[in-house]
Amino acid sequence: MNIDLHCHTNVSDGALPPQELVDLAVERNIDVLSITDHDSLAAYSSIVNPSAKLRIIPGIEFSTYWKKSGVHIVGLDLDLSNSTLLDAVAQQSAARELRAEKIAQKLAHLGFDNCLEGAKSYTSGGQVGRPHFAQHLVAIGAVANIQQAFKRYLGAGKPGDIKEQWAEMATVVEWIRGAGGIAVLAHPTKYKMTGTKLSALIRDFSEVGGEAMEVISGLQIPSLTRDMANLARKNGLLASCGSDFHSPDQPWAALGMVAQLPDSCTPIWSRWA
């Protein structure tokens, strides 16, 4: 089975329109796909599944925080008509707009004017995220590339790292469960936490009702996969996997190119098989 349960369209910070992403999934013989745009479900209103072989699991990626660190929680197998979920998306969308304004203000204090307008020009009408600000900073010559934009201005601990407007982790988990979904801790290896701190995050996530974690996120070395599988098993969590696809020019996050979960894991799809 080719399963990819984490990817993005241009509704949030991805490059492809929703239908193009679905078509690419069919082309790559993906069996199960979830589009998990940041704080948005809009992609699902504009896609048509062209293949009976592709199963689409409704999903989303919510932004939240834990002990002053920004973290992401994916919701999978959601009821897209659930009123609690729709209210949550509206709340997060408003928070995302406020965050964009605050990021622009921070960048203005550093001498970069009109950054909000610049970032919006890269959204294709979708929500504004830090990658859009990064693209604008590259375009105006403030930095050489996207990575440098995050390293200097937008990454963790930098002026553009604003997260206090997000809902708390327990609230996000409650939203997902209320919509009949499964809450998944997204890409735990990407938070740059010590092993002790990551273990504490996973434990707290489980205690507030989280039921799964991404054991594999994109291209990942086997030893890291084994470590994540052990943490999932230790905390009684189901295992999920996804490419975290954003753009076709990123081979480390290629759609559908996700390794198989270790046999020691209980896969999340066992819940809806």
Is the pLDDT at 156 greater than 70? The verdict is yes
The yes/no answer on whether domain 3-89+164-271 falls in CATH 3.20.20.140 is yes
Q: Is the pLDDT of residue 189 over 90?
A: yes
3-state secondary structure 6-50: CECCCCCCCCCCHHHHHHHHHHCCCCEECCCCECCCHHHHCCCCC
Residue 164 pLDDT:
67
Give domain limits for the chain. 3-89+164-271
| 117-145 confidence digits (pLDDT tens) | 999 888 876 778 888 899 999 999 999 99
Give the model confidence (pLDDT) of 27-75 as tens digits: 999 999 999 999 999 999 999 998 999 999 999 999 999 998 889 999 9
Predicted confidence at residue 52, as pLDDT, reads 92
Give the span between the Cα atoms of 13 and 38, in whole angstroms. 8
Q: Do you know the residue count of the chain?
A: 273
Average pLDDT, whole number, for the chain?
94
CB 132 within 8 A of CB 122: yes
